[in-house]
Amino acid sequence: MKDQISEKIKNIANSIFPQLVKLRREFHQYPELAFEEFETAERITRELKKLKLQLKTGIAKTGVMGVLYGDKKGRTVALRADMDALPVTEQTNLPYKSKNKGKMHACGHDMHMACVIGAATVLSRMKNELPGNVKFIFQPSEEVGPGGALFMIMAGALKNPEVKGIFGLHTEPSIPVGIMGVKQGAMMAHTNYFNLTITGKGGHGARPHQGVDAIMVAAQVIQALQTIASRKTDPLVPVVLSIGKIEGGTASNVICDKVVLRGTVRTLHKKVNEDIPKMIKNIVSGVTRSAGADFVLDYRRGYPVLINDPWMTDLAREAISKLYSKKAVHEIEHPVMGGEDFAYYLQKVPGTFMRVGVRNPKVKAVYPWHHPKFNVDEKAIGIGTAVLSQCVFDFLSHCK
């Protein structure tokens, strides 16, 4: 029966592949930023209405949710897709490139939506064999903290019916198309952000001794902060602290009185994540005090560590193997220091987050996430659709 289910899933996924490609290209042409995904949500809603799902819209402003009730009673599992694009100006020559100036699906969320809609279509056509229910969650604002997942959960996305497990996927431009990546345990990092304002004393550039140069202090602070990773934390515990933006100064002959540093901190370790704000304060306090400057630190917690459930990851691994053989499974060895708000769902219910390979030099799908030339091999849409559908069947079959 499982082999028959797998063959049926693949056949339906293959039959709807052209319409999923068309849908993905439509999403790609009209990208919308975080919490502005109104047209995207409307387009998703139209597709889900065709499937006669129980629908709810306007969740967390632009979120959409559909529920498919299988003919056989059972538990409920969820599939999630993110909807938002990035403030990136597209530099591809694709015929369906972005028509919304300064906005682009440069991370593959257009493909994620197509895969989940594809899975909803496959599973709807197999409703009479479905041993439970499926909730399809389309959430806003994955790219911008505090993230749409948190608001979707607060709005009841995992309730009525109660979700017992969840699956998600993300494009991976380093993995060839036809391959899916899996990893149990910690997969993505804590993501925190900070604004650090350093205040000195202005003056004439020819008389620096009469002022306190905030730029000079900021330079010392930037160097000193790197000792957090190199000297103040266990070298076997990964930590990234990056300053991404510096604002300060008015003229070449004026001693700067204020500098703002904007940065991010990434780690996989809970205790280190809790301790880093204090480390930053201690370091900055020492540097600024010795220079006669002051500072204010605004430190904001971001997404938690994304931790994949071992059993759910095994289930996903097996689903990929059933459909495309064991050679289609890529074991991801190390976590990445990027963040993902799918982590919030995994704090509530067991689940796993997969990588779907999209790399293919022949179609110039070689660029990293957030690059203005980011592209995908669209064959991955059919693969993602089938794998998500198989994961649903296998989860519900094991959890009667």
Tell me the per-residue pLDDT of 141-153, one tens digit each, with 9 for 90 and over.
Answer: 999 989 999 999 9
Is 239's pLDDT higher than 80? yes
Is residue 287 within 8 Å of 217, Cβ to Cβ?
A: yes
Q: Is residue 133 classed as helix, strand or coil in its secondary structure?
A: strand
Report, as an integer, the average pLDDT of 220-232: 97
Amino acid at 324: Y
pLDDT at 21 over 90: yes
Domain residue spans of the chain: 2-187+305-398, 190-300
Average pLDDT of the chain is 97
- Give residue 400's pLDDT: 62
Share of the chain above pLDDT 90, in %: 98
> What confidence tens digit (pLDDT) does each residue in 53-105 have?
999 999 999 999 999 999 989 999 999 999 999 999 999 999 999 999 999 99
pLDDT reported for residue 399: 72
Q: Which CATH architecture has domain 2-187+305-398?
A: 3-Layer(aba) Sandwich (3.40)
CB atoms within 10 A of CB 325: 9
Instruction: Give residue 111's pLDDT.
Output: 98
CATH 3.90.1580.10 corresponds to the domain 190-300: no
pTM: 0.94
Active site residues: 303, 378
